Amino acid sequence: MKSINRISLLLLIGILTFTGCVDENFELEPTGLTERPILSNIIADQADLSIFLELVEANDLLGNLVGNRTQDQRAVFVPTNQAFVNFLAANGFSSAADVPNLANVLRFHIANPNVSANDIRQGSFTAIQTILSGRNISVTRANQQVLLNGQNVTIIRSNTDGNGTIHVIDQILVPQP
């Protein structure tokens, strides 16, 4: 019985010794953090992309552009304001609120992998995964031309200054049924 009490006492002393050494202020630093601006801030600084950002905010999707400051988070295909105007007029919508499943259309513009413009032009992949569950942007390359989702989309410019890539495009990408 005395040996059980001694063992219990030794265990108790050991536990108290080790738990007394815990640094309450210890914080494990996340890996891969970057000081680069987040994608939403870069988009906000470009006046010709304001409609996309307003719609993303209105549809509670801003968190998909903010992330946690990790490097190379994702690629966003951001239609210009003129692309929205053209899309609404071509489809007979009086406002973006009339677009069926608008939140899904917006999700379709946000890709999980960070894909560069060069990767899109010269890569061998045939689809880009989006945050719209189960829907990918199809990529077709032929005769020096790249089709995104079957559309002849022009990437006007790409910005890699943030924690991902912003591809400014001239059309709205619509998920295919």
- Whether residue 20 lies inside any domain: the answer is no
The contacts of residue 114 (CB under 8 Å, 6+ apart) are: 72, 73, 74, 75, 164, 165
Joined together, the tokens standing for residue 86 give: 């053209």
pLDDT score at 92: 97
- Whether residue 16 lies inside any domain: the answer is no
End-to-end CA distance of the chain: give it in Å, rounded.
Answer: 75
Is 85 strand, coil or helix? helix
Cα separation of 52 and 58, whole Å?
10
- Whether residue 100 lies inside any domain: the answer is yes
The mean predicted confidence, pLDDT, of the chain is 85
Cα separation of 116 and 127, whole Å?
14
151-156-159 Cα angle (round to 5): 120
- Whether residue 175 lies inside any domain: the answer is no
Q: Say what the pTM is.
A: 0.79
- Whether residue 13 lies inside any domain: the answer is no
Cα separation of 116 and 167, whole Å?
8
What's 119's domain CATH number? 2.30.180.10
pLDDT at 114 over 60: yes
Nearest to 101 by CA among 11, 172, 1: 172
Nearest to 154 by CA among 93, 79, 84: 79
Number of domains in the chain: 1
pLDDT score at 10: 67
pLDDT at 20 over 60: no
pLDDT at 109 over 80: yes
Cα separation of 56 and 33, whole Å?
24
Convert the pLDDT of each residue in 126-165 to its tens digit. Answer: 999 999 888 999 999 988 889 999 999 999 999 998 888 9
Nearest to 171 by CA among 54, 155, 160, 159: 155
Cα separation of 70 and 39, whole Å?
11
Kindly indicate the confidence band of residue 81, based on its pLDDT and cuts at 50, 70 and 90: very high
- Whether residue 158 lies inside any domain: the answer is yes
**Element holding 9 (H helix, E strand):** helix 2-19
Domain span at residue 118 reads 33-169
- Whether residue 8 lies inside any domain: the answer is no
- Whether residue 120 lies inside any domain: the answer is yes
The predicted model gives 19-48 an average pLDDT of: 72
